[in-house]
Amino acid sequence: SATDATCAAATGGADPEVKIWTWEPAEGLSHAKTLRVDEEVLALAYARDARGRRDGFLCVATTDHCVRVVFADSLKFKVSLYGHALSVLSVAGSFDGKLLATGSADKTLKLWGLEFGDLRRSILAHDDAVTGVAWLKGTHYCVTTSKDGAVKQWDCDRLDEPFVQLFRRGHCAEVWAVVAAPDGAAVYTAGADRSVRCWARTDEPVFASEEREALVDAVQDRIEAGREDEATEHVSAAIAPARASATARKGAERVAEALELAQGEAGAAAAALSAGKEPPAPSPLML
């Protein structure tokens, strides 16, 4: 992770250490500080503070399912974020410094308040590990990638249903990383299919309800084709087809009764005509 304000970069690995590097035009990149942590580092990112400073905090995700937040300038400890059931694989802070997003191997996207380290929301975002998180500039829209091959957009200000859209015709394998353009006009993703894809923002409106209905319709089509396992493999529980309601079951029973009555009348009419008789009058229910 890097910050422009102080021309600094941070790296982490299995040491377990986080190293801070500074850039000077004459000397290039040089090691400045080292932060010792207790576990291997899986992801890290600089995050803005409440005043909007880009290098306010440094957030470090480790193999103990924890995200440690330290002050970027002094590396002093601020808060630890616990809540994920499995290791955190991606971390990103919103541009206004109000939210921190974390994606984990437990398939969830969690939103945190950086000031007190409080968990604001937990979303079952994917059907496999969430490998990447990126915020769109000037908004609380974030984009997530996953090992399930999906790229999704979320509105983190919505309380009822944060899902916005699924980026279609994308990767054909696991997606490992995502980054947003500085102006928020495009999103770039990279996956195990050895491709980097660019998703450009358009003026065409997106309706979340239609996106959810499209996903549900696709799942139901696969189930009807006898591919139930494949249908539910890449769809999260939040948008899986619901069980049939009592009203739907009653309607289906009435349709079946009407079909049975129509078939019976058609058979009686055919038998009467073959015997040279007048076919019986149709049932009032069929009129």
Are 75 and 35 in contact by the 8 Å Cβ rule? The answer is: yes
**How would residue 242 be classed by pLDDT, with cut points 50, 70 and 90?**
very low
What's the rounded Cα separation, in Å, for the pair 35 and 260?
75
Residue 252 has pLDDT above 80, yes or no: no
Residues constituting the chain: 287
- Three-state DSSP at 166 gives strand
**How would residue 239 be classed by pLDDT, with cut points 50, 70 and 90?**
very low
Minimal CA–CA distance to 213: which of 243, 240, 249? 240
Minimal CA–CA distance to 215: which of 116, 286, 148, 277? 148
Residue 238 has pLDDT above 50, yes or no: no
Minimal CA–CA distance to 64: which of 83, 44, 91, 90? 83
Are 199 and 186 in contact by the 8 Å Cβ rule? The answer is: yes
Rounded percentage of the chain residues whose pLDDT exceeds 70: 80
**How would residue 286 be classed by pLDDT, with cut points 50, 70 and 90?**
low
What b-and-e string marks burial along 154-187, b requiring 16 or more CB atoms within 10 Å of the CB?
A: bbbeeeeebbbbbbeebbeebbbebebbeebeeb
pTM: 0.70
Q: Cis peptide before 16, with omega less than 30 degrees from 0?
A: yes
Render pLDDT for 103-155 as a digit per residue (tens, 0 to 9).
Answer: 999 999 999 998 889 999 999 999 999 999 999 998 999 999 999 999 999 99
How far is the first Cα of the chain from the last one, in angstroms, to the nearest whole number?
Answer: 72
